[in-house]
Amino acid sequence: MRKLNLTLGTLLLTQVSLAQEMTLSDILNLEVTTASKTAVPSSEAPATMSVITRNDIELYERRTINEALYSLPGMVPSQDYDRRSISTRGIFEGWNNNHYLILIDGIPHNDNIYGSAYTWDNTPLIFLNQMEVIRGTGSALYGSYAMNGVIGIKSIEAKDFANKTTTKFRLGNRNTTTFDMISAIDGDGVDTVVSFSQSETDGVDFESYDGFANQKRKVQDARSSSYFFSKFTADNGLEFQVHRQDWSFQTGHGWFFIIPEQEEAMKESRSIASLKYNTSSDGIDYEFVGRFQRHEVDWNMNYWPAASTGLDPDSFYASGMWEYLNSHADDLFLRAQFTGDLGNGSSWLLGLEETVFLYSGDQEHYSNLDDINDPNTGNTPSGETKDLGAWLEYIEDQPLYNSAIFAQYVSEKLADMITVTAGVRFDQLSFKYRDLAVSRDTMKNKSFEKVSPRLAIVMTPSENAVVKLMAGSAFRTPSPSELAGYNTWTLASNIEQLSSETVDSAELSFEYQFKKSKFILNLHQTDFKDQIAYASPDAAQPNLSTNIWSAKTQGVELAYHLYGMNHGMFFTASHNIRVDETTDDPGTTAAPDDITWVPASSATLGGHYSFAKVSLASQVNYLGETKRKPSDVPNDLRSESVDASTTIDFKASYNITKSGKLVLSGKNILDEEVFLAKGGNNPFDYQQEKMRYLAGLDFTF
């Protein structure tokens, strides 16, 4: 057994154990399944595909999915309220972060209320074995939310972990601590993998202006999380998983852009259980999946300070404004999938899916407002609390049914060099809801339907070259929170008028593998229509979730990877241009010629070197200038655009024993000031963390 350090088509660097009989081509083309649900080498996958391995994560000390994805071309950091999200190919991603689909071992794991893909620090990477990332549309196979990409996480297999237990502990500045543990048993008949992660931090440590714009105050960013994962895999093809996820957070600048004068109690949790069965008969592979999810919310929200604080002494809300919510929602996902082998590498696939979402009211929901649906009424007369109606009253006790059928054909290799993948999927979301403008007992029907096609042509003109032509359509139906919020200031829904978001894309990709390096070039065009956002006060439906933005974008993405026996480097870059942009909101102004709210350009340069017992890795991250929309009125508190930034990350480790090592890592080690744009007419942008260091120990036994 020998070690080989090299960069993959992952757009990251990896260190892998390589058996003598494995070739470089094997390493550079790890098998992937997310792009077509069939195993193919990553370079020949019918999508713009990146593979991030467990060793990638450890080499550069990636703590979150975000940190891993930010190194890929076209994917850049963004923030909305308290959440760190991922903007892709010049399109800003908001708080919901729901234009990506997360799969864990092929099963959807997006949140059921907001549709969010949890890519920040409430989802650890300790149980990850491989992450397959599609940049581009994925609805032809996976339906709603797979608009900007699919993040397919494959968990560790017990047989690959060899009855071991690994623990990782980190301690850092701003009261940051993390603990990860994973253990696997390669059993007789049933394999078991169990992991647990816990983290907490004070978050950013700076003061900022808020909606009052009269003084700076400390941003509330403390957060913590824990995650329990278990997987039981039987020899007969049955697999059972349990996920328990708990996290707490602060709302940063506040959900009304008023920094809370005291810490809030914002808690959420998810419980997920899934059962999967795989079998084969007469040349057909069968897969049956069932997954249950419960998402619990326990929020104590502080929207507006009391007059006694002095922050707003003439406030209409003399007692301040707050809301408490304790609620949950459930969903059940079912899938039956069939795959047939047609010979010579050709195959067909057919699948059926059904998802049922159910919200049955709240455990507690109250406020100090006299009528939360009419803010002009002010506080309750004597400052007492008042029970509120159901948080999602439009759909209380009314199930939402999403039914889907999808099919795919993969050709044999035509002329010994061309493979065609064609797929199509039909989705229908249907439900009944209350017409609350008339009465609670008045019911209406609503449905959303969408057909999502895709076509990919993969050509291998030589052993070292791959050319891909890809086109497809994707969509996202409005989430339950966008559709059904009522009796609350956390949501502003628009159930009568909301329609699905859609995107059409076309891509041309070229990959070439040299003896010790690999080059990737990708050209893309995306036509994003009817993006949902909160409407301005000047809109026909003010302050409600509304289809507002449409934008056409073109871009180029490139990556170069160099590998060596004990060293390696990578470089990735992207640039996007806006072809057109329109808005249906009279209170906002489109920017048809500019990428706005996110950088148009970004680049990453990384490298590593190992010697004796020491491993060193570093990465330089560049974000270009971020422009604002014309309706983002400049003010004295922030510049007309957000300056470009460059940060450096670093990791060093030392093997103290065969089973233990010391680890020191730092993010933004030069302590640079970095800001991400806040859209709209606001007096602040989101300042990012300055230098973050972590030190700790890893042990495997």
Q: What pLDDT does 262 receive?
A: 80
What distance in Å separates the CA atoms of residue 327 and residue 331, rounded to the nearest whole number? 14
CA dihedral of 586, 588, 590, 596, whole degrees rounded to 10: -170
Question: What pLDDT band is residue 26 in, cutting at 50, 70 and 90?
Answer: low
Question: CA end-to-end span of the chain, whole Å?
Answer: 20
pLDDT tens across 186-199, in order?
A: 988 999 999 999 99
Q: Say whether 395 sits in a helix, a strand or coil.
A: helix
User: Mean of the per-residue pLDDT values for the chain?
Assistant: 92
| Predicted structure pTM score | 0.94
Q: What pLDDT does 565 receive?
A: 81
In the chain, the largest separation of any two C-alpha atoms, in whole Å, equals: 81
Evaluate if residue 8 carries a pLDDT over 70.
Answer: no
Evaluate if residue 221 carries a pLDDT over 70.
Answer: yes
Evaluate if residue 24 carries a pLDDT over 60.
Answer: no
Question: What pLDDT band is residue 10 in, cutting at 50, 70 and 90?
Answer: very low
Q: What pLDDT does 568 receive?
A: 86
Evaluate if residue 131 carries a pLDDT over 80.
Answer: yes
Q: What pLDDT does 218 receive?
A: 92
CB 27 within 8 A of CB 7: no
What distance in Å separates the CA atoms of residue 627 and residue 679, rounded to the nearest whole number? 10
Q: What pLDDT does 678 receive?
A: 94
In sequence order, the 6+-apart residues with CB closer than 8 A to the CB of 659 are 699, 700, 701
pLDDT tens across 628-678, in order?
A: 999 997 778 888 899 999 999 999 999 999 999 999 999 999 999 999 999
Evaluate if residue 1 carries a pLDDT over 70.
Answer: no
Q: What pLDDT does 317 receive?
A: 85
Evaluate if residue 696 carries a pLDDT over 70.
Answer: yes
Question: 33-305+326-376+383-638+655-700: which CATH architecture?
Answer: Beta Barrel (2.40)
What's the mean pLDDT in 613-623? 97
Structure tokens, 303 = 């929207």
What's the mean pLDDT in 169-196? 96
pLDDT tens across 490-513, in order?
A: 999 999 999 999 999 999 999 999
pLDDT tens across 67-97, in order?
A: 999 999 999 999 999 999 999 999 999 999 9
Let me know the angle formed at the C-alpha of 103 by 123 and 572, rounded to the nearest 5 degrees. Answer: 75
Q: What pLDDT does 22 receive?
A: 40
In sequence order, the 6+-apart residues with CB closer than 8 A to the CB of 546 are 494, 497, 498, 532, 533, 534, 535, 539, 584, 585
Q: So where are the chain's domains?
A: 33-305+326-376+383-638+655-700
What distance in Å separates the CA atoms of residue 30 and residue 47, rounded to the nearest whole number? 15
In sequence order, the 6+-apart residues with CB closer than 8 A to the CB of 623 are 76, 77, 599, 602, 644, 645, 646, 674
What's the mean pLDDT in 605-613? 94
Evaluate if residue 213 carries a pLDDT over 80.
Answer: no
Question: What pLDDT band is residue 12 in, cutting at 50, 70 and 90?
Answer: very low
Q: What pLDDT does 25 receive?
A: 55
Question: What pLDDT band is residue 383 in, cutting at 50, 70 and 90?
Answer: confident
Evaluate if residue 395 carries a pLDDT over 50.
Answer: yes
pLDDT tens across 444-457, in order?
A: 999 999 999 999 99
pLDDT tens across 516-552, in order?
A: 889 999 999 999 999 999 998 888 778 899 999 999 9
What are phi and psi for residue 321, nearest 5 degrees? -140, 120
Q: What pLDDT does 27 receive?
A: 55
Number of residues assigned to the chain: 701
pLDDT tens across 28-69, in order?
A: 668 999 999 999 999 999 999 999 989 889 999 999 999 999
Q: What pLDDT does 382 receive?
A: 74
Q: What pLDDT does 9 receive?
A: 35
Question: What pLDDT band is residue 6 in, cutting at 50, 70 and 90?
Answer: very low
**DSSP structural state of residue 663:** E
Q: What pLDDT does 17 receive?
A: 34
